[in-house]
Structure 1
């Protein structure tokens, strides 16, 4: 038997899950499996704290913060530190450096995801919230649980790293200026 709380939560999930998955995919630099895990963890935490969430003055900020906390928790897991990741899966065909895939846009997206993957999670989250979701510095700081100065410095350092990897003109972030 479903309670009113269950019905509210179910409606919320139906309306927000796709956006959560998109955000989590950006935060994980394109790792769809980890993104799904993060969304599941976030929704589980949200269900447990549903009364607090309903009373929150900024529910979107609460949701973003919970998602970032889930990513941080995931990165702290002991087995994550011992797992060795590789850039390419062994069963993928080899593509020589400098060649384009099916389209130049796909190659650029892949390069951006690879460059984002090299950034620390908080730095990546600052970029995602600032430039992909166009949040201001204060909302980004709230989502990350840090000061506005930290958001500014993390964003500047992240953009500098991306410029070093991708080149000055190849960063496809809308609204980004030097």
Structure 2
């Protein structure tokens, strides 16, 4: 089963080496993540899927014991855990010719390129793996045209980039290149 969201860096590197589109993509209308999911994000999803398998196995045992109502509750909980694991691995920033999409665990927001004043990288205190603890790091901020507070797209200490400074820089450059190409 092809997983296109895992091959973003490789496709970009291959296209750049071949002298293709400087942004690394031939089909700009397709939503793409310009970086690979990080090990913390993939590991968290793997643990959630492992726990979901235990919950689904317990649903089977409960159903065989004769309590179908409790088995249904366990099966629904297992299905919810699987959906959360898939959402967790899909979370991040995607770009296309239409704009920029930030996908979170519970919701997604899409901003058209013409509604973006600037995308910039700044040094600031950032949350460590999304927890309340903050550390000094870098954040990629989106500044809307209509004003207001800048929105944080991703940071150097989130689940995709913790311990991967080179990947953070490459992703920040890719997002800034997409913004520059559409302004």
Q: TM-score, normalised by structure 1?
A: 0.24
Please state which structure has a larger fraction of its residues in helix.
1
Q: TM-score, normalised by structure 2?
A: 0.24
Please state which structure has a larger fraction of its residues in strand.
2
Mark the structure with the bigger radius of gyration.
Answer: 2
